[in-house]
Chain A
Amino acid sequence: MESWKSHVRAELFHRDCRQRDPFSGLFEKVSRLEEMLTLHMKLSSSDKGSSRCPDEGGILHLRVNELEFLNQQLKQKISDLTSNIYLKEAELQYCHSQVARYRTEAVVLAQGASSLKAGLEEYEYQLECQSKELTALRLEHSSLREELTAANLQNEQLLERWLEEKKEEAERINKYNATQERWQRLAGRLKKRHRVRSRTACAADKPTESKTEPPSS
């Protein structure tokens, strides 16, 4: 699909080269001659009243007019070009001012870039320091954690020991209480037996004493 299009395009290009380019100068010349002819026609129509036949003076006259016309055209062209020059100068000035603005902008941006770069370097340095610090802290953290584990273990052991000692103390006190109670019971029994016995002794004493004692009367 595309190939025929490019082919047609190429052919048209060739035709242009062959048929138009060789005549481009001719067209210009023809248009200039046409301009001249119209001028001559105008001049001749204005001279018709004098009904002068064309002679050498007339030709010169034509020539002068022709030159005047050309002169006019050139003046016009000069004034066009001058105004164009002014325009271009203004454009140029604008461009210069733009350049200056962009230059200062570029300078500012370059400064910003360099300060950003410095900042980046600073941050990179800080990052490095902090990562080092982090590593150290991690290390410390892990060692502290180990210490904590050890302390917890020790705490657990101490607690066990404490409980063990409390247990022993409780056992000791329980035993002491039991001994105490047993002893009290025994002492109580002894006391009771002793009371009974001393009562019996007293009872046995009384009749003996009444027997041995001489009558009061």
Chain B
Amino acid sequence: MANEFPVSREGTANSRHANLTSSLDLSTSLDHSVQTRIFKIIVIGDSNVGKTCLTFRFTGGAFPCKTEATIGVDFREKAVEIEGEKIKVQVWDTAGQERFRKSMVEHYYRNVHAVVFVYDVTKMASFQNLKTWIQECNGHGVSSSVPRVLVGNKCDLVEQIQVPSNTALKFADAHNMLLFETSAKDPKESQNVDSIFMCLACRLKAQKYLIYRDVEREDGRVRLKHQPDPKSNCPC
């Protein structure tokens, strides 16, 4: 890959014009070679809360008519544009059932950029289990600077709601998370579902240097933590 870069040597006065031309080339080729950035977002929560449906709603724009329990993980991607920059949102739809995820967990959390915790508003147990999911997330060294959001799914089942909004809101506040209450099924909520991921993508774009940090640490070098760009125009 490095060959793609014509590294310019120190130019002499005579070759100044040539230098300028090659600089222009370099700039363009750099622009070309810098590919779309990828934001890895994992979706975590109990089995059957609707993780697959939510991610499918975001990436496929529809509610799947039939889903099976996810085995291991399913990868979904969506290209979005934020402030003129093309970004690939890579969604990891993880398995909720223990037997389908046991050997995979460390891979979920490796270099993750954002975490989406999902519960089912019609099932109190799925909300109560969030503590365990957060513990697992923290236990895998996910830094507190990694943005996290809480999503209460299946809001279309109004009659069966078990988790009151204010309880969820309190919980989200206590854990410094944004709360989204939505439905993967209800087409009217489609934009709301999109905004979960878009909001995260905006925040990630704003704190892009933070993302590099983890990778650098992997290289054995630790860089100082950068504060997110305060001038971000995130929609959320």
Contact = CB atoms under 8 A, between A and B. Distances in A.
Nearest to B17: A205
B231 to A, nearest CB: 18
Contacts of A184: 34-35, 37
Interface residues on B, range: 35 or more
Contacts, number: 88
Interface residues of A, number: 30
A163 B30 contact: no
Contacts of A164: 103
Interface of A is mostly: helix
B180 interface: no
A159 B71 contact: yes
Nearest to B110: A174
A167 B35 contact: no
Interface in A160-217: 162-164, 166-167, 169-171, 173-174, 177-178, 180-185, 187-188, 190-191, 194-195, 197-198, 201, 205, 208
B225 to A, nearest CB: 16
A208 to B, nearest CB: 7
A212 to B, nearest CB: 11
B33 interface: yes
Contacts of B20: 198, 201
Contacts of B75: 169, 173
B71 A163 contact: yes
Interface of A: 159, 162-164, 166-167, 169-171, 173-174, 177-178, 180-185, 187-188, 190-191, 194-195, 197-198, 201, 205, 208
A171 B212 contact: no
20 contacts: A159-B100, A163-B72, A167-B103, A170-B72, A170-B92, A173-B90, A178-B218, A180-B37, A180-B38, A181-B38, A183-B34, A184-B35, A184-B37, A185-B215, A187-B33, A187-B34, A190-B30, A191-B30, A197-B23, A201-B20
